[in-house]
Amino acid sequence: MRSAPTILHLDMDAFFASAEQASKPSLRGKAVIVGGLGPRGVVATASYEARVFGVHSAMPMAQARRLAPNAAYLVPRFGFYRSISEQVMGLLRELSPLVEPLSLDEAFVDLEAGGAAWDEESARLVGARLRADIRAVTGLTGSVGLAASKMLAKIASEQAKPDGLVVIEPGTERALLGPMPVRTLPGVGPATGDHLRRAGITTVGEIAEAGEDELVRLLGKAHGHALYAMALAHDERAVVAERETKSVSVEDTYDVDIHDRVRVGLEVQRLADRCVRRLRGAGLSGRTIVLKVRRYDFSTLTRSETLRGPTDDPAVVREAAARLLEAVDTTGGVRLLGVGVSGLADFTQEDLFAQAAGERGVEGFLEEDASEVVAEERVGVGAGVGVGVGERLEVAERRWVAGHDVRHAEYGHGWVQGSGLGRVTVRFETPGSGVGRVRTFRVDDPGLEVADPLPLVSLRGVAAGGGV
């Protein structure tokens, strides 16, 4: 582990919700909750104003509505978030060639590799300047942690939230970690945490006191050894700029269980097409097709088939997914379906027999729209970059999606506040305007159309101010 706090961890503050507040003047300073709005939807991000009511990410949306009934509930706009993320990641790459994105809103940076910092003072200056630059370019805030290792830098950024900077000075790590709960350490989830608690170990300091032999006895050699090392603040993981993509996948959760076997088959074909679109978008192909089915009783089945060679042909993936579905009993209903591709490569070797058979399936690609489930491409440590991992967010079937952009021939740019009973309510405002006026239209109003998000107002050159 290095002797200076030159590993930086950036975590944008309530990223999705903050982006929506910056984009919509009427929501600034108000409780905003972003996620799936269907009966089985989950919260992706809650603004800090919403967190006061106890709302947090991964919470069922129905529970969030009970806790914060007056909050603004919006469906995610991942293309918009991705455009902001690219700006932020660009600022990080100006600091160092070693930038390791973990998700759209989170990344590690090795400041030594780019010569941006070499000691505590220079690292602190870089962190402060980065926060100001992010604010100037995007109008959003991010929290920065600086330490001598990735583990500690991430802990520091958590302590810095919201909109702060924390530096963990080398030599102080053990004292800092000691009283923290065991769940603070990477790799300690609910199951491992409960196992340690039953053994009387609840803090990081108690892990260190237990000793490596005891940890190995409790958790096994690999996990026990790694956990003991982290409890001693030893983390030699390097910041890695490029990581191997392991899988590409899509899945849909349905508001009402699907009982019709024919519809289940059509849904699988549609998911296969979406999966291939992502696969091709990443310039990849794959050999192993994976089908995921969650049944009415919450039991989850996963089936896979490995082809003779990698493919990115939609007909091939559809045919393989259909074969896998034949072996799954869907009696009683299906609440979730997913199709994925693993065993990835950057070339294809077509399975001609499967391709010919697949010509009987759905032709061409099916266009994704707001009625489909969308997935935040959130990547964890050790996962692939960019596609196929993360929360799945339900979107109720509607043309006008809450929070999404529209344009009216007379009133200009706005966003959907809600729709139903043949009506759609729109607030007409832009990132640089004041709070806009609200109008209601028939859903088939010829003057109203779906629009692309407007960019946030750049504050480059303007002194950074308070949080959004």
Q: Which residues are catalytic?
A: 106
Q: Is 457 exposed, middle or buried (0-12, 13-18, 19+ CB in 10 A)?
A: middle
Nearest Cα neighbor of 6 from 229, 170, 231, 178 is 170
Residue at token pair 């991000």: 45
Residue 432 phi/psi, 5° resolution?
Answer: -100, 5
CA 376 to chain centre: 4
Q: How far apart are CA 70 and CA 96, in angstroms?
A: 43
Residue 93 structure tokens: 């790459």
Q: CB of 34 within 8 A of CB of 74?
A: yes
> CA separation (Å) from 326 to 289, 323, 418?
14, 5, 40
Residue at token pair 């995921």: 292
**β-pairing verdict for 7-12 and 142-147:** antiparallel
Residue 452 phi/psi, 5° resolution?
Answer: -80, 150
